[in-house]
């Protein structure tokens, strides 16, 4: 390679190195802090209401039902329907906070063919609203969007049934743990402004 070509290659390599390092030079900059206040994060919680005992009723066949003294002694047959009444206390705070109330059963739990549904009190004065789709309630919400800390009691009704069409796979089950039913309260994302 002649000296002219070697010099051109060397020069090009030097320019590439200089350009590659161009980002290492400091640029002028400045900053300042905003003179403002402080913010805080809120909270969302649900728990069994202290001193509120669970009340079970056998509603099989309709009517007002028969009180169940000890649900641990109840033995299901197809078509049976029992109902739990229990209060939970919701605590919440957040300027744009809305929560979704539901009853869930962990996926790993086997309730041996029993169906479980929950409803929450939405009567006048309640802070719970039913959300419906096509006239059917699909979940319940609580609204704590004014930013003030709030705490209120919500009556919960949980219905447990063994469908009348249950087959033989639901026979001879024992120790079906109804305590695995969870009352859940989860934050709902704010609805975007239209």
Tokens of 61: 């066949």
Q: Rounded CA gap, 60 and 75, in Å?
A: 12
DSSP state of 64: S
Q: Among all chains, which residue has been given the structure tokens 């229990």?
A: 86
Q: What is the pLDDT of residue 9?
A: 54
Low-confidence ranges of the chain (pLDDT < 50): none
Q: Please, what is the Cα angle at 135 between 104 and 92, to 5 degrees?
A: 45
Q: Kindly list the domain boundaries of the chain, sorted by start residue.
A: 43-188
pTM given for the model: 0.74
The pair of three-digit structure tokens given for residue 102, joined into one six-digit string = 């539901």
Q: Locate all alpha helices (DSSP H) within the chain, ordered by sequence.
A: 3-20
pLDDT tens sequence across 11-57? 555 555 555 555 566 789 999 888 888 889 999 999 999 888 889 99
């Amino acid at each position: 390679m002649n000296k002219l070509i070697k010099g051109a290659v060397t020069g090009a390599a030097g320019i590439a190195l200089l350009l590659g390092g161009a980002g290492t030079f400091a640029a002028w900059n400045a900053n300042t802090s905003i003179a403002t206040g402080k913010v805080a994060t809120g909270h969302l919680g649900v728990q069994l209401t202290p001193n509120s005992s669970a009340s079970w009723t056998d509603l099989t066949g309709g009517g007002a039902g028969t009180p169940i003294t000890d649900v641990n002694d109840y033995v299901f047959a197809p078509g049976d329907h029992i109902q739990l009444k229990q209060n939970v206390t919701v605590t919440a705070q957040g300027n744009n906070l809305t929560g979704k109330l539901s009853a869930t059963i962990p996926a790993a739990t086997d309730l041996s063919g029993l169906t479980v549904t929950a409803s929450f009190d939405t009567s006048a004065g309640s802070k719970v609203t039913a959300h419906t789709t096509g006239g059917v309630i699909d979940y319940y919400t609580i609204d704590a969007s004014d930013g003030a800390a709030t705490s209120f009691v919500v009556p919960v009704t949980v219905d447990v049934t063994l469908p009348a069409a249950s087959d033989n796979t639901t026979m001879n089950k024992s120790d079906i743990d109804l305590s695995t039913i969870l009352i859940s309260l989860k934050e709902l994302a704010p609805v975007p402004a239209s």
